[in-house]
Homo-oligomer: A and B are copies of this chain.
């Protein structure tokens, strides 16, 4: 092969330091998931096509990676009809499996398939890769991890309270302060649309409102008028643009607007309950914010809608999101399983932590000391110390070959190993080890016990 090998577009190799940083984030998320009582499940990377197809709209169907059947898949097809077929017609005949597109549909399938083994409310988390044949671009990949936590089988609003705290604790653990947890409620959006007499225009209305950040108040109003929303409706909606204060104060202002909408006031009750509990419990790293422009997952979410924004000092889209849904498993024939869930955006959280230099240095440090190799006898003497050090959980290594010491030091330097341990005849004779700090150049002669103490501290 003449050319250097490559990988498919939209996919990534992860180097050791990248894997270690990703594992660091995942381990923090996982630890909090488990403290909050969520239990892990894993599902296969590929599902039967009929499990996935038709669940994500036409665009989704197109972006699902299909797996070619094994064996002579063409033998199932009448050769004469082949030339008349297009790819869309042929695909279902030669592909019966597909790579998972998200974790939600496989989770729904799991719940239905294993319903008799599950205790409801079921709190599950799932951290696995998903695949989408999307056009790759900055920050968008064809293979990426999703980190989801969902509670199904309970309508209690305490779950929303829990999930907000869960977000907060994960970001606190990652040292990422200044995060904003934006919350809205589908019932609030329905209520506003009802109050302004535009219930049938709910989508147009929310799409326009969602752009407030980008096109400002006048832009939003212009778009609403263009979509056929009445000018007098816009007057009613005016308070939306002037909310101020903390979460509970904004909810109070919003409730004035929604007094005449039953569904709107139901939304106000939910927001109030959640806001009160969060105020009583407190948040460490995040702020809870009411954002009536938030409209993600509108054809799916029926209650709370969440979106998490990175600290304002970083320019980055949302780093998490979620919401409450009434019907998770109806698509697989099991009615009345509702729930609420959130997701962490691993790739974006990675970029934010990197930009703010919030990864602890120790995350990517592997070996703390390299034992220099002076030959078989010295290496065996070194190996005995190495074994003792590793038994204490300390990461140490022997340079595998007896080569020039300078080359061994250079290797340590390039691998960013901070210490070298030198064992020659004299050290062996006195049961000692020369510990050299490769940054300062300082060197001390120590016995094994002291060596362990030194390197334990340096790890």
> Which residues of A does B touch, CB under 8 Å?
1-2, 4-8, 11-16, 19-20, 23, 31-32, 34-37, 39-48, 50-51, 62-63, 65-68, 70-75, 79-80, 82-83, 85-88, 90-91, 94-97, 99, 109-110, 112-114, 117, 119, 121, 123-124, 129, 131, 133, 143, 151, 154-156, 158-159, 161-162, 165, 169, 273, 277, 280-281, 331-333, 366-367, 373, 376, 379-380, 383-384, 387, 390, 393-398, 400-401, 411, 414-415
Give Cα A366–Cα B40 distance, bound, in whole angstroms: 10
Residues from chain B with Cβ under 8 Å of A8 in the complex: 44, 46-48, 96-97
Q: Are A16 and B80 in contact (CB under 8 A)?
A: no
16 further A-B pairs in the complex, CB-CB below 8 A; given A4-B112, A62-B70, A169-B390: A4-B113, A8-B47, A13-B113, A16-B41, A19-B40, A31-B393, A36-B397, A37-B395, A39-B366, A67-B68, A68-B91, A154-B400, A158-B379, A158-B383, A161-B383, A281-B387
Give Cα A333–Cα B15 distance, bound, in whole angstroms: 21
Give Cα A376–Cα B71 distance, bound, in whole angstroms: 60
**A358 to B: closest C-beta gap in Å:** 20
Q: Are A397 and B11 in contact (CB under 8 A)?
A: no
Pick the residue among B2, B35, B95, B109 that contacts A5 (CB under 8 A): B109
Q: Are A401 and B1 in contact (CB under 8 A)?
A: no
The residue in chain B whose Cβ has the minimal distance to the Cβ of A121 is: B400
Give Cα A281–Cα B386 distance, bound, in whole angstroms: 10
Give 11 A-B contacts (CB < 8 Å), ordered by A residue: A5-B48, A7-B43, A7-B47, A7-B113, A8-B46, A16-B41, A68-B91, A72-B88, A119-B414, A158-B398, A281-B383
Give Cα A324–Cα B397 distance, bound, in whole angstroms: 20
Among A37, A88, A156, A161, which residue has the most Cβ atoms of chain B within 10 A? A37
Among A34, A51, A67, which residue has the most Cβ atoms of chain B within 10 A? A67
Give Cα A35–Cα B41 distance, bound, in whole angstroms: 28
**A399 to B: closest C-beta gap in Å:** 8
The residue in chain B whose Cβ has the minimal distance to the Cβ of A165 is: B387
Chain A interface mostly: mixed
Residues from chain B with Cβ under 8 Å of A97 in the complex: 8
**A84 to B: closest C-beta gap in Å:** 8
**A352 to B: closest C-beta gap in Å:** 21
**A154 to B: closest C-beta gap in Å:** 4
Give Cα A42–Cα B144 distance, bound, in whole angstroms: 12
Residues from chain B with Cβ under 8 Å of A161 in the complex: 383
Residues from chain B with Cβ under 8 Å of A39 in the complex: 16, 19-20, 366
Give Cα A226–Cα B124 distance, bound, in whole angstroms: 59
Residues from chain B with Cβ under 8 Å of A159 in the complex: 400
Q: Are A71 and B87 in contact (CB under 8 A)?
A: yes
Give Cα A276–Cα B304 distance, bound, in whole angstroms: 66
Residues from chain B with Cβ under 8 Å of A387 in the complex: 165, 281
Q: Are A45 and B5 in contact (CB under 8 A)?
A: no
The residue in chain B whose Cβ has the minimal distance to the Cβ of A84 is: B79
Q: Are B37 and A396 in contact (CB under 8 A)?
A: yes
Residues from chain B with Cβ under 8 Å of A383 in the complex: 158, 161, 277, 281
Q: Are A277 and B73 in contact (CB under 8 A)?
A: no
Give Cα A380–Cα B62 distance, bound, in whole angstroms: 47
The residue in chain B whose Cβ has the minimal distance to the Cβ of A65 is: B67
Give Cα A1–Cα B133 distance, bound, in whole angstroms: 26
The residue in chain B whose Cβ has the minimal distance to the Cβ of A126 is: B19
Given contacts A13-B41, A277-B383, contact A390 B79 (CB under 8 A): no
Q: Are B13 and A114 in contact (CB under 8 A)?
A: yes
Q: Are B40 and A13 in contact (CB under 8 A)?
A: no
The residue in chain B whose Cβ has the minimal distance to the Cβ of A72 is: B87
Q: Are A5 and B143 in contact (CB under 8 A)?
A: no
Give Cα A133–Cα B69 distance, bound, in whole angstroms: 9
